[in-house]
Structure 1
Amino acid sequence: MNRKTLVLPAMAGLLAPVLAACGGSDSGSSGGNAIAVGTTDRFTATKDVPAPLDPAYAYDVGTWNVLRQTVQTLMIQPKGGGQPVPEAAQSCGFTDSGNERYACKLRDGLTFSDGSPVTANAVKYSVDRALAIQADSGVAGLLSTIDTVETQGDKEVVFHLKTSDATFPYKLSTPVAGIVNPADYPKDKLREGFSVDGSGPYTLKAETEGGSVSKAVFTKNPSYKGSLTVNNDKVELVSFDNADAMGAALEKGDIDLMTRTMTPDQVKKLSADPGKNIDLVEMPGLEIRYLAFNTSAPTVKTKAVRQAVAQVVDRAALVSQVYGDQAEPLYSLVPATVTGHSNSFFNTYGDPSTSKAKSLLDKAGISTPVKLTLHYTTDHYGAATKREFEVLQQQLNASGLFDVQIQGTAWDAFVPAQRKGSYDVWGMGWFPDFPDADNYLAPFLDKDNFLKSPYHNSDIINHLIPQSRRQADRLAASGSLTDIQDIVADDVPVLPLWQGKQYVAARDDVTGTAYALNNTSTLQLWELGRGVSG
């Protein structure tokens, strides 16, 4: 039976699966042939990015989805959302009232893939290594509140923090805090290539073509000890050049499931008619898209130019024309479903207005039209990205205030160029490291932000971010978080555009699809199994 599966929010941060129609459960079963999963993510090693899968470097959803299967973390985010729970750790918790000392005790019997034991010293080595390397991806910023790491015997590790950080348990669930074997990962440099060794639920063998991974083969790790139940023996993650080729492979049965990134047209078609023996799974997403500005670049250095862009862009029209009901307009960096969200950009600018934008530019003495180039990546967020930037170009040029060109670049060249400051204005997406408002603000605005942005607001960095992190009750942090969002709306170092849903399409004999992705877009391959078609 064809069916559409909806995963609906039970409450903020939690997901509950609801199956429409009949036909089997998602309990899963191990064994059987490998489950083939399609993706348009590309994993490429280049001169600028020689170590794409090193936990001390990797900082995008695609590479993290490889590492989460293979490199174990002390904590893990539950499949249905909520607070992180112990994974490699047996227990973890703050041991002081100020949230500045966090202690973990390791599980018994943990081993790396070569059989050597996972110890507290290995945990310390892994974290200290990421902090020492300080890769230009900016991922080490997630660990920036750590002062020192202390070990007590082979099983206990204590993190002494520079300041209170109620979000620290979440940060220990991210791959940058993954436990690596000191024998495999050099202390002071990145591990180049595509080899990954850890103590996670799978081992990895990467099949490559021309410097890129064509297939990542995940084999169940017989020595794995942790909180996860692995429902299959092998999963193959197959990279496709585009979503159309991935969709054709699913229809033919060459793959069993496809995930990011499907096109809006594919989702619309599958939603209306999934096809024989194919199910579409729709679930809430915390992905956002935004424009970023190099605030030291001559074209956008003046705040009024950035404010005028914010005043002209029509998010509702953009979403309607490109994504339909698969996305929603977003008026803050923090998604509407995350505690601490504020509609700061709507409160500041209201509805799109050319006259208000012109007034902003006139008061600043800016001659029009302002010439800008908007840069986007052609192959990382899906085929619809080009259309999205065409619509943005049309909106800005139609105002008569801007003369906008757009330029698309492949991801492996786009990222190094952006980090070197080659772009004045560029578009990117953000898949949260963890579902907390802090993770939509600090990575963009803190001193060592991952965008390498020259924008620095001392009140945000020195007062508001630390103040928000002192609140274990995240609702109590809303005041500080709102102040940050209001400052961003006024200064416009970034311009939020929309937040999206997420989708998986699968053959209907694949079980566990309701949890194939969690609410931070983490691919949870261990949830997949083989069952009986409905």
Structure 2
Amino acid sequence: MNRKTLVLLAVVGLLAPVLAACGGSGSGDGGGDPIVVGTTDRFTASKAAPAPLDPAYAYDVGLWNILRQTVQTLMIMPKGDGDPIPEAAERCRFTDSGNERYACTLRAGLTFANGDPVTAADVKYSIDRARSIKADSGVAGLLSTIDTVETQGDREVIFHLNTADATFPYKLSTPVAGIVNPKDYPKDKLRTGFQVDGSGPYTMKPEVENNELVRAVFTKNPNYKGSLKLNNDKVEIRSFADADAMGAALDKGDIDLMTRTMTPEQIRKLSNAGDGPVDLVESPSLEIRYLAFNTDAPTVKSKAVRRAIAQLVNRNELVSKVYGTQAEPLYSLVPASITGHSNSFFNTYGDPSVTKAKALLQSAGITTPVKLTLHYTTDHYGAAMQREFEVLKEQLDSSGLFDVSIQGTPWTEYRPAQQKGEYEVYGMGWFPDFPDADNFLAPFLDKDNFLNSPYSNDEIRDQLIPQSRRQANRLAASPSLTEIQDIVAEDVPVLPLWQGKQYVAARDDITGTAYTLNSTSALQLWELGRGVSG
């Protein structure tokens, strides 16, 4: 086989209803060696985050990719993207015209992996538990539009919403809505450690060293009933300290596939290589990167300072120097491929301009150069993040208007410090919970937001977000969504930088790589199989 880059077009999403129709638990590849997947995601239990894999706490793409294999949700995203389809549910639908009452019927005979029946009461318990614990990760915000959860018999669950929410089916496909067994998950506290139990397609055995999950072994759940067809009986996820170690393991054949996060250099090398045993698969991604501001911090409390930074950042140069063709400049929190996107930052600031930035600071009486520290995490979004922040520093310093320092911190320290408001300006990435514009706006701007940001805009929270959620036709929500993006460009509580692509590198006897990751970077291990190399 020629080593090549396989590019998956966004049109794949149009095939989703047909592909999803296969359904059923299916059968694996008949046993044999497990398929081994490498990742640089780190899974650590700490004093600040002692329960990383509890669905009521986890709010990170890597952690969710463990949970998606094991904890079943009422709905699930189809393999080629599109609208969510029933998973633990047999059917779900809005039962009113205002999108405020959503009813689901569970599949008959549904059980947890240990054989215990899954009932409507378990669904209610799981949802109410996540809402009442309200973990500091912010994940419970996805369930904020729920007023009450009602059950009728063992199989009927009815969600009464406190406001119209056309995106609610998507939210029921996320791990925070995962169904857990009350025997395993206490009602009023998180389940610490790395044990995960559910009714999903796999059971999981963790291998832990020094409070870190280094290997997760997924074995086909014989009691699974759902929409997924499993193409294997066993898969392992191995966590590596860095991309170079992961790449070396793939070259040696110690792993079969690597996903998050390869370096730009690795991707370029694989793209340009000829014949060989490894194929590179490129697929659409909704990953974004952005700068966030603690709007209470003295250095950036003035909107003029934040606007001046927005006026100076050169996205084209940043992407070119660091990521090349692997990313694209982004001028809104909402990616260009999502309905409701608007290039609000470009419309507001145009091309980078030192003259305009200087005028913004002068008109606000800001003394220059403004001293700032830009913070980034060293081990969560890939090795290129340091270079990205070096370029941002160069751009701001070269204007003469800023005097910038950069500081890198491991994720286990970085995330708690960020949530406590210890950073004035910091870099973050976002892998959406679901592919809708609402999920690129509300998590940063609504109450109890993911960033724990002090920024608050009443028009966004009380009028525009609720207005947008009333529209089942998402194109009809565009006016509200555009207005939100325009306000963000004016106030700059966050500054979008770029939108990425995603890649999988796999040995050429591995099948199903085209669907290993969907556009939200959800890992679909059940799609992988072992075929014939050649």
Shorter chain as denominator, the TM-score bin is over 0.9
After superposition, residues 239-278 of structure 1 pair within 5 angstroms as: 239-273=239-273, 276-278=276-278
Offset at residue 32 of structure 1 (A): 2.0
Matches of 1:324 and 1:50, distance apart in 2: 38
Matches of 2:532 and 2:201, distance apart in 1: 25
Match of 1:34 in 2: 34
Contact 1:28 1:531 in 2 (8 A): no
Match of 1:357 in 2: 357
Match of 2:409 in 1: 409
Q: Secondary structure in 1 aligned to 2:9?
A: strand
Distance 1:13 1:310, change over 3 A: farther
Matches of 2:478 and 2:14, distance apart in 1: 19
Contact 2:28 2:230 in 1 (8 A): no
Match of 1:213 in 2: 213
Q: Secondary structure in 2 aligned to 1:285?
A: coil
Matches of 2:67 and 2:259, distance apart in 1: 17
Q: Secondary structure in 1 aligned to 2:285?
A: strand
Offset at residue 109 of structure 1 (A): 1.4
Matches of 2:133 and 2:180, distance apart in 1: 14
Match of 2:317 in 1: 317
Offset at residue 12 of structure 1 (A): 9.1
Q: Aligned pair 1:476/2:476, yes or no?
A: yes
Match of 1:179 in 2: 179
After superposition, residues 317-466 of structure 1 pair within 5 angstroms as: 317-466=317-466
Contact 1:71 1:199 in 2 (8 A): yes
Contact 2:113 2:222 in 1 (8 A): no
Contact 1:509 1:532 in 2 (8 A): yes
Matches of 2:40 and 2:300, distance apart in 1: 33
User: 1:355-406 deviations in whole A, cap 9, x for unaligned?
Assistant: 1000000000000000110110000111000000000011000100000000
Match of 1:224 in 2: 224
Q: Secondary structure in 2 aligned to 1:291?
A: strand
Distance 1:361 1:15, change over 3 A: farther
Contact 2:419 2:452 in 1 (8 A): yes
Matches of 2:212 and 2:29, distance apart in 1: 32
After superposition, residues 50-129 of structure 1 pair within 5 angstroms as: 50-129=50-129
Distance 1:15 1:278, change over 3 A: farther
Matches of 1:241 and 1:380, distance apart in 2: 11
Matches of 1:329 and 1:239, distance apart in 2: 30
Distance 1:310 1:30, change over 3 A: farther
Match of 2:8 in 1: 8
Identical pairs, percent: 78
Distance 1:275 1:367, change over 3 A: farther
Matches of 2:335 and 2:183, distance apart in 1: 41
Matches of 1:203 and 1:13, distance apart in 2: 29
TM-score, normalised with respect to structure 2: 0.97
Contact 2:12 2:80 in 1 (8 A): no
Match of 2:283 in 1: 283
Matches of 2:28 and 2:381, distance apart in 1: 30
Matches of 1:163 and 1:408, distance apart in 2: 41
Q: Secondary structure in 2 aligned to 1:504?
A: strand
Give the AA of the match of 1:102: Y
Matches of 1:487 and 1:452, distance apart in 2: 19
User: 1:308-327 deviations in whole A, cap 9, x for unaligned?
Assistant: 00000000000000000000
Give the AA of the match of 2:256: D
Contact 1:515 1:524 in 2 (8 A): yes
User: 1:101-148 deviations in whole A, cap 9, x for unaligned?
Assistant: 000000011111221110000000000000000000000000000000
Matches of 2:134 and 2:502, distance apart in 1: 31
Q: Secondary structure in 1 aligned to 2:290?
A: strand
Matches of 1:345 and 1:192, distance apart in 2: 42
Q: Secondary structure in 1 aligned to 2:284?
A: strand
Offset at residue 74 of structure 1 (A): 0.1
After superposition, residues 121-160 of structure 1 pair within 5 angstroms as: 121-160=121-160
Distance 1:214 1:335, change over 3 A: same
- The alignment covers a number of residue pairs equal to 524
Matches of 2:392 and 2:200, distance apart in 1: 42
Q: Secondary structure in 1 aligned to 2:159?
A: strand
Match of 2:167 in 1: 167
Distance 1:12 1:509, change over 3 A: closer
Offset at residue 304 of structure 1 (A): 0.3
Give the AA of the match of 1:448: D
Match of 1:48 in 2: 48
Offset at residue 9 of structure 1 (A): 2.8
Match of 1:23 in 2: none
Matches of 1:142 and 1:414, distance apart in 2: 23
Offset at residue 52 of structure 1 (A): 0.3
Matches of 2:182 and 2:216, distance apart in 1: 23
Give the AA of the match of 2:491: D
Q: Secondary structure in 1 aligned to 2:51?
A: coil
Contact 2:4 2:273 in 1 (8 A): no
Offset at residue 30 of structure 1 (A): 4.4
The gaps in structure 1 that reach 5 residues or longer are 17-26
Q: Secondary structure in 2 aligned to 1:103?
A: strand
Distance 1:64 1:74, change over 3 A: same
Matches of 1:260 and 1:274, distance apart in 2: 23
Offset at residue 10 of structure 1 (A): 4.2
Give the AA of the match of 1:216: A
Q: Aligned pair 1:195/2:195, yes or no?
A: yes
User: 1:10-63 deviations in whole A, cap 9, x for unaligned?
Assistant: 4495579xxxxxxxxxx9834221000000000000000000000000001000
Matches of 1:28 and 1:180, distance apart in 2: 25
Matches of 2:81 and 2:5, distance apart in 1: 18
Distance 1:291 1:234, change over 3 A: same
Contact 1:30 1:231 in 2 (8 A): no
Give the AA of the match of 2:45: A
Give the AA of the match of 2:53: L
Offset at residue 276 of structure 1 (A): 2.0
Give the AA of the match of 1:72: Q
TM-score, normalised with respect to structure 1: 0.97
Give the AA of the match of 2:418: Q
Q: Secondary structure in 2 aligned to 1:132?
A: helix
Match of 1:22 in 2: none
Matches of 1:61 and 1:532, distance apart in 2: 31
Q: Secondary structure in 2 aligned to 1:98?
A: coil
Q: Secondary structure in 2 aligned to 1:36?
A: strand
Give the AA of the match of 1:100: E
After superposition, residues 518-533 of structure 1 pair within 5 angstroms as: 518-533=518-533
Give the AA of the match of 2:59: Y
Distance 1:416 1:104, change over 3 A: same
Q: Aligned pair 1:504/2:533, yes or no?
A: no
Contact 2:56 2:190 in 1 (8 A): yes
Matches of 2:274 and 2:258, distance apart in 1: 13
Matches of 1:185 and 1:29, distance apart in 2: 33
User: 1:447-481 deviations in whole A, cap 9, x for unaligned?
Assistant: 11110000000000000000000000000000000
Match of 1:21 in 2: none
Distance 1:285 1:28, change over 3 A: farther
Matches of 1:491 and 1:32, distance apart in 2: 56
Offset at residue 6 of structure 1 (A): 2.6
Offset at residue 99 of structure 1 (A): 0.3
RMSD: 1.2
Matches of 2:448 and 2:13, distance apart in 1: 27
Contact 1:15 1:519 in 2 (8 A): no
User: 1:80-114 deviations in whole A, cap 9, x for unaligned?
Assistant: 00000000000000000000000000001111122
